[in-house]
Structure 1
Amino acid sequence: MQSDRQLIRDTEAASILGCGRSTLWRWVHENVIPKPIKIGSSSRWYQSEIEAVIVAAANKSRAPQPRLRKRVRPRP
């Protein structure tokens, strides 16, 4: 099976993301990561979707930040 179509469990997704299962599910509810595919009562993610979350977070954190100007207070 190709890795872009490999389905993984919540424990595996949490391990890839470096978080716990409860954090993983909180991120699902906060729309940080995509909702899982339901297969019966099981929840699965495509491994490529979890890896895409990591890439997106890395790109966002490495994006150039706007420079903030120092606020100059007038002297009394």
Structure 2
Amino acid sequence: MNAIDPLLKAREVADFMQISIPTLYRRIADGTLPKPVKLGSLSRWSQSEILDAVDAARKRGAAA
């Protein structure tokens, strides 16, 4: 059985990461976070991609 990977809104991603929406878009621009999936005019982020980006950031922080 396949697990469902929810698509998150910008507000949901920002709330999860405890950042503002402008900071969310800055992190996307600098490559720290993945670009959104575009559904027409809507932007959504795969929950698994956001979690992977958080894990990668933690690993970079631990290595420093």
TM-score by length of 2: 0.87
Mapped partners of 1:28, 1:18: distance in 2: 15
CA drift at 1:29: 1.1
CA drift at 1:7: 0.3
Mapped partners of 1:15, 1:48: distance in 2: 16
Which has more radius of gyration? 1
Question: What is the percentage of aligned positions where both structures have the same residue?
Answer: 35
CA drift at 1:23: 0.2
Letter in 1 for 2:8: I
Mapped partners of 1:19, 1:32: distance in 2: 13
Runs of 4+ in 1 over 3 A off after TM superposition: none
1:45-67 superposed Cα distances (whole Å, 9 cap, x missing partner):
0011111111111111112x4xx
- How many positions carry a matched residue from both structures? 62
- Tell me the residue number matched to 1:35: 35
CA drift at 1:17: 1.2
CA drift at 1:32: 1.1
Alignment map for 1:1-76 (pairs within 5 Å):
2=4, 5-63=5-63, 65=64
Partner of 2:35, secondary structure, is coil
CA drift at 1:28: 0.9
Extract unaligned runs of 5+ from structure 2.
Answer: none
Partner of 1:43, secondary structure, is strand
